[in-house]
Amino acid sequence: MPEGDTIYRAAATLNRALAGRSIVRFESVFPALTRVHDDHPLTAVTVDRVESIGKHLLMHFSGGLVLRTHMRMHGSWHIYRPGERWRQNPRDMRVLVATADFEAVGFNIPVAEFIKTDPKRDLTKHASLAKLGPDALDTRFDRDEAVRRLRTRPSSLIADALLDQRLMAGLGNVFKSEVLFSCGINPFVTVAALDDRQLGHLVDTGRKLLQANVTTSSGLTTHSGRRRTTGKDNPAASLWVYGRARQRCRQCGATIDARKHGVDARLTYWCPDCQKS
């Protein structure tokens, strides 16, 4: 599943290509989207901006219409020049938003809906967004609220709690393992077993790692999809533990372990020696 950094970069790329431009073509395989377009053609509006909230991507149009998409496991947005050959099968197209200069194509997107907004309605009150915890990539991120929400799941394994978007939005399976390693915390302890200092350290580290993977040292948005948590440029040494089962820990030399757990049987990677807390 794309994580918060991926969605943030996708939104930044779409915003750079589409914002301020008029729509010349709209297509979708979703009947609900097509009906809205038939009744109120999007070719009469412009793209105001594109942003992300957690793992949700929001495309704002003039007139108060917002397209919300969620990638789930396999969805993605691509940008093409008109006439450029798509890198994925056209049968996988779910949504297409085109301007005179660019085509934004959503492939294999399972969730897409239009939301009608107005100045009196807070978009974050929408049912799919209201339940989200503080967004780790939001400049208004509320650290204390994230810690408070984690505390509401005392019996949850911390590895599961970090994936719960209702507690803190943005972290996914890769960052979950990397954050826990960076903080020296065993993935399989419960939230109740951790004190406020440890929970705060997890929240701070999660935000720090996400931010490091969406901006350059000069503060500009990066569009590179290669994640780094070790600080090393070498692609073979960019992550501490994720995907490295049975390999040596970069820090202590012990063997990295991996285990499936939770409702979706997601893999967690950790170092038994470095993560004893």
User: 55 an active-site residue?
Assistant: yes
Q: At what angle do helices 196-212 and 173-182 cross, to 10 degrees?
A: 120
H or E element, residue 52: strand 47-53
CA nearest to 104, candidates 10, 220, 3, 224: 10
DSSP 112-165: EEEEE--TTS-GGGSHHHHT---BTT-TT--HHHHHHHHHT-TTSBHHHHTT-T
CA nearest to 10, candidates 137, 179, 148: 137
User: 3 an active-site residue?
Assistant: yes
Q: How far apart are CA 243 and CA 147, in angstroms?
A: 28
Which residue type, as a one-letter code, is found at position 122? Answer: D
- Candidate list 27, 31, 55, 110, residue with the active-site label: 55
Q: How far apart are CA 58 and CA 56, in angstroms?
A: 6
Give the residue numbers annotated as catalytic, written as ranges.
Answer: 2-3, 55
